């Protein structure tokens, strides 16, 4: 038994060492903290965050709330938890949130909104994951008492992950806000990669913040922090979310070391997202995808046999993801510099042709 688990540890160690040498385009969540980020984490001032005593967590929450022009924020372990707490804050049990059919909240959060908060979902469909205001407005269900599930919130994802890092135009988000106001609904923004949208368009974060009643934003994707997301919104909603976070077993103690990584990322890793976007366009070009359609750091590549390309690229030191039988996904990030992007382009170009 002992020998077996020792072998397991060694196998995992070898796998991690092998991965470290590869160019990893599977996701922007795979980044490792830089030396400077690690130093910031080690030096962080900490306290018990369940008592709201952690000065670094408090500083991060205040800073992120302010960046989006909101009253408060809550540091969470994941983007999924930030989204769950955010949607739960604006949608009561038995009501629904409307979102696009490929939205992360409906496809990839494992039904948490239904399973843990009694929330149902209906979706509109757009080939680029965009808000189709007319369709959204047509989907809204009024409160008809015992006859229909009532719509309580509209949700938009910016950038849209499964659609390929697509930026939602500010104008459509504002129109979504108008529809919500007309029907007395809340707006949730899944801003896991809102930093990419901000850097790609120059739209100030506060303009995005003004569209949403509640937002989820992530530090652990393009910004390169190892862990952490935030729910952003009104003080009363955030206070209630703090209780729910603890109820779900996700209250944490000296989380300041993680918050320090987040603060470091906000200081040093936002503007550089432009490099990731340039690297994504470079990869797109090599894979015969129109770089004009690549808004940020995600490239969706159609190819005849995606799993075969994944396997062949892996043999040549490039990790990619198949998101469908004929669809490959490439994601650029902090740990892929220009040389690595060019090397990956050389490997992938012939494989997807």
Ligand X SMILES: Cc1ncc(COP(=O)(O)O)c(C=O)c1O
3-state secondary structure 1-32: CHHHHHHHHHHHHHHHHHHHCCEECCCCCCCC
Chain position carrying tokens 């849209």: 160
* Count, residues near ligand X per rule CB under 6 A: 12
Closer residue to ligand X (CB): 157 or 276 = 157
Closer residue to ligand X (CB): 269 or 286 = 269
Residues in region 209-268 near ligand X by CB under 6 A: 218, 220, 229
Closer residue to ligand X (CB): 83 or 332 = 83
Decide if residue 83 touches ligand X (CB under 6 A).
Answer: yes
Site string for ligand X, 41-80 (x = CB under 6 A): -------------------------------------xxx
Could you tell me the end-to-end alpha-carbon distance of the chain, in angstroms, rounded to an integer? 48
We find the least distance from the C-beta atom of residue 86 to ligand X, in angstroms, to be: 11
Residues in region 110-169 near ligand X by CB under 6 A: 157, 161
Cβ(202)–Cβ(228) below 8 Å: no
Of positions 54, 96, 100, 190, contacts ligand X by CB under 6 A: 190
Of positions 90, 99, 192, 265, contacts ligand X by CB under 6 A: 192
We find the least distance from the C-beta atom of residue 218 to ligand X, in angstroms, to be: 6
How far lies 306's CA from each of 35, 302, 330, in Å? 35, 8, 12
Decide if residue 295 touches ligand X (CB under 6 A).
Answer: no
Q: Is 201 helix (H, G, I), strand (E, B) or coil?
A: helix
Residues in region 274-293 near ligand X by CB under 6 A: none
Closer residue to ligand X (CB): 79 or 256 = 79
We find the least distance from the C-beta atom of residue 313 to ligand X, in angstroms, to be: 21
Q: How many CB atoms lie within 10 A of CB 140?
A: 18
We find the least distance from the C-beta atom of residue 111 to ligand X, in angstroms, to be: 14
Q: What long-range pairs does 57-65 form, CB within 8 A, spacing at least 24? A: 57/255, 57/256, 57/259, 59/259, 59/263, 60/230, 60/259, 60/262, 60/263, 61/230, 63/263, 63/266, 64/217, 64/230, 64/232, 64/266, 65/232
Of positions 70, 88, 104, 264, contacts ligand X by CB under 6 A: 104
Using alpha carbons, select from 31, 24, 57 the residue that is nearest to residue 269: 31
* CB-nearest residue to ligand X: 79
- 68-88 per-residue burial string, b: 16 or more CB within 10 A, e: under 16: bebebbbbbbbbbbbbbbbbb
Closer residue to ligand X (CB): 56 or 78 = 78
Residues within the interface to ligand X (CB under 6 A): 78-80, 83, 104, 157, 161, 190, 192, 218, 220, 229
């Amino acid at each position: 038994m002992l020998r077996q688990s020792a072998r397991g540890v060694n196998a995992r160690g070898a796998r991690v060492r092998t991965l470290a040498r590869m160019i990893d385009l599977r996701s922007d969540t795979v980044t490792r903290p830089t030396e400077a980020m690690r130093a910031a984490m080690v030096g962080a001032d900490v306290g018990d965050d369940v008592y709201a005593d952690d000065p670094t967590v408090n500083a991060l929450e205040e800073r992120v709330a302010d960046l989006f022009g909101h009253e408060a924020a809550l540091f969470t372990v994941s983007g999924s938890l930030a989204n769950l707490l955010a949607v739960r804050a604006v949608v009561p049990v038995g009501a629904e949130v409307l979102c696009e059919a490929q939205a992360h909240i409906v496809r990839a959060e494992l039904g948490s909104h239904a399973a843990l908060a009694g929330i149902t979902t209906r979706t509109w469909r757009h080939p680029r994951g965009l808000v189709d205001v007319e369709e959204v407005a047509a989907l809204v269900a009024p409160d008809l008492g015992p006859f229909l599930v009532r719509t309580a919130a509209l949700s938009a994802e910016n950038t849209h992950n499964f659609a390929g890092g697509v930026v939602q135009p500010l104008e459509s988000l504002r129109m979504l806000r108008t529809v919500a106001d007309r029907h007395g609904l809340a707006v949730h923004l899944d801003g896991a990669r809102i930093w990419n949208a901000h850097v790609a368009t120059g739209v100030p974060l506060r303009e995005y913040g003004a569209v949403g009643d509640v937002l989820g934003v992530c530090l652990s994707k393009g910004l390169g922090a190892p862990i952490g997301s935030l729910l952003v919104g009104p003080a009363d909603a955030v206070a209630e979310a703090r209780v729910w976070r603890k109820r779900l077993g996700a209250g944490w103690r000296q989380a300041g070391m993680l918050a320090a990584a987040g603060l470091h990322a906000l200081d040093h890793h936002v503007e550089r997202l432009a490099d990731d976007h340039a690297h994504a366009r470079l990869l797109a070009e090599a894979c015969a995808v129109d770089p004009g359609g690549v808004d940020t750091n995600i490239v969706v590549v159609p190819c005849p046999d995606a799993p075969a390309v994944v396997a062949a690229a892996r043999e040549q030191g490039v990790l990619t993801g198949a998101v469908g039988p004929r669809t490959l996904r490439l994601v650029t990030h902090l740990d892929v510099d220009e040389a690595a992007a060019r090397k990956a382009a050389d490997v992938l170009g012939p494989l997807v042709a």
